Amino acid sequence: MSPGTTLRLILGDQLNPRHTWFERRRNDVLYVLMELRQETDYVLHHAQKILAIFAAMRELARQLRAAGHCVHYLTIDDPDSRQSLPDNLDTLMLRFNVRAFEYQAPDEWRLDAQLADYARRQSIPCRVVESEHFYTLRDEAGRLFSTRRQWLMEHFYRHMRVQHRVLINGASRPVGGQWNFDHDNRKPWPGLPSEPADFRAAHDQTALWKTIVSAGVNSFGQANAAQLAWPLNRTEALQQLDAFIEKALPHFGDFQDAMSHRAWRMFHSLLSFALNTKMLDPREVVAKADAAWRAGWYPWQPPRASSGRLSAGASTFVASTGRTCRNMSSKTCSATLGRCRDGSGTVRPGCAALPTPSASLSNRPTPTTSSD
């Protein structure tokens, strides 16, 4: 590393290889990823969630190194790890002579507050940038509902569809004349059409799972480590998206609320993990579903969707997190890039590195491996 290193932190749900951070290789930038007990232990997680995130983190680190970027990776059993994000950052700041600290805005309140506090205490420039994932900015939901008495998802959903022209005609009305088809989407599944096969690639992560268990990490559920089906990277995630659009989306709307002992996944997308870890962009999921309908692939009346989703994968779009911003030591946060309004892009000592999240749509749970 060259003198005056900039440390850029990548969290376990920020695995987007297309982030603008990675457009240019710089010898003075060190990317850091950490497998931490802090993150595995703050609540009890499903075994597959822990295993899949660690496996995907390791794959992104490998890809970044192959592309010529400088990467430091702390594994869950690394003897140098103090298993705490702030403590490890302190160690790395000294080890690599770090002169600037940058990170992407976390999705979760807990990490948001922790990193904001850490940045405030630093004597070096600290900067937070957008993860470049969500349709909304942090303050958007707050602004939308500021004049309303109730926070209703339906209002947010319609606003987002119009703003981003998703299945909307020239008069800003929904294609097909209805905003949602909730009643039509509550059909029981009689057994036909047949449930699509699991189209995902399986990975043998037995060795990694043994490492996780040996490190003392507790979890619940079955790891299924010998045949882990969650994607390791964006390429696999895109393949899964294509398979969903072709095999499952045509029948998802009708049976999205159905349950049956004869089917384990029905017509759900299985894309939540790829979306929550940011391998997939919600815009491309929405665009694929939109394009498939416009091309006449499906015999459904438009837009066969509930008031919360255009497709299983696109549910992230309609429930995209509203993000809030607050005053930062006499400067105002720019919602787009998380900068102080002086335009420098630097959060100086005493200038809060992150706005405090509001009790709004910004309070998303941590990424899950749920089926929809």
Instruction: Using DSSP bridges, classify how beta strands 29-34 and 339-340 pair: parallel, antiparallel or unpaired.
Output: unpaired
Between 76 and 350, the more confident residue is 76
The confidence band for 3, taking pLDDT boundaries of 50, 70 and 90, is low
Element spanning 129, H or E: strand 126-129
End-to-end CA, the chain: 42
Domain residue ranges of the chain, discontinuous segments joined by + = 140-202+231-318
In this predicted structure, the answer to whether residue 354 has a pLDDT above a threshold of 50 is no
Reported confidence tier of residue 341, pLDDT bands at 50, 70, 90: very low
- Euclidean distance between CA atoms 218 and 213, whole angstroms: 7
> For residue 93, what are its two tokens?
């700041």
Q: Report the C-alpha gap between 173 and 158 in whole angstroms.
A: 9
Contact 286, 166 (CB under 8 A): yes
Per DSSP, what are the bridge partners of residue 48? none
pLDDT of residue 8: 98
For 241-262, how does the pLDDT look when each residue is reduced to its tens digit (9 = 90+)? 999 999 999 898 889 889 999 9
CA distance 134 to 131: 8
Residue 199, both tokens: 């189209």
Is 285 in contact with 241 (CB distance < 8 Å)?
yes
Q: Which amino acid is at 297?
A: W
**Backbone CA torsion sign across 359, 362, 366, 371:** positive
- Separation of alpha carbons 325 and 354, rounded Å: 8
- Whether residue 291 contacts residue 303, with contact meaning beta carbons closer than 8 Å, is answered with no
CA distance linking residue 33 with residue 89, whole number of Å: 11
Q: What is the pLDDT of residue 303?
A: 39
| DSSP character string of 253-269 | HHHTT--BTTBSSTT--
pLDDT band of residue 367 (cuts 50, 70, 90) is very low
Peptide bond into 174 cis (omega under 30): no
* pLDDT score recorded for residue 209: 98
* Residue 268 in tokens: 């759900």
For residues 77 and 185, which has the higher predicted lDDT (pLDDT)? Answer: 77
CATH class of 140-202+231-318: mainly alpha
Which residue from 127, 146, 124, 144 is spatially nearest to 136, judged by alpha carbons?
144
pLDDT of residue 296: 80
Q: Say whether pLDDT at 291 is over 60.
A: yes
For residue range 174-183, what is the model confidence (pLDDT) as tens digits? 988 889 888 7
| Contacts with 66 (C-beta within 8 Å, 6 or more apart), sequence order | none
pLDDT band per the 50, 70, 90 thresholds, residue 332: very low
Q: What residues are paired with 9 via a beta bridge?
A: 32, 103
Alpha carbon separation from 72 to 24, 27, 75, 208, 231 (Å, rounded)? 18, 13, 10, 18, 22
Angle at 144 between CA 277 and CA 325, to 5 degrees: 60
Q: Compute φ and ψ for 168, nearest 5 degrees.
A: -125, 140
> Is residue 335's pLDDT more than 70?
no
**What average pLDDT does the structure give for the chain?**
82
CA atoms of 256 and 264, how far apart (whole Å) = 13
Task: For residue range 126-173, list pLDDT tens digits in order.
Answer: 999 999 999 998 889 999 999 998 999 999 999 999 999 999 998 899
Output helix, strand, coil percentages for the chain, rounded to the nearest 5. Answer: 35, 10, 55
Whether the predicted model's global pTM rises above the 0.85 cut:
no
Instruction: Say if CB 371 and CB 270 are below 8 A apart.
Output: yes
Give the integer Cα–Cα distance in Å for 188 and 360. Answer: 33
* C-alpha distances in Å from residue 238, one per residue of 160, 200, 244, 313: 24, 11, 10, 12
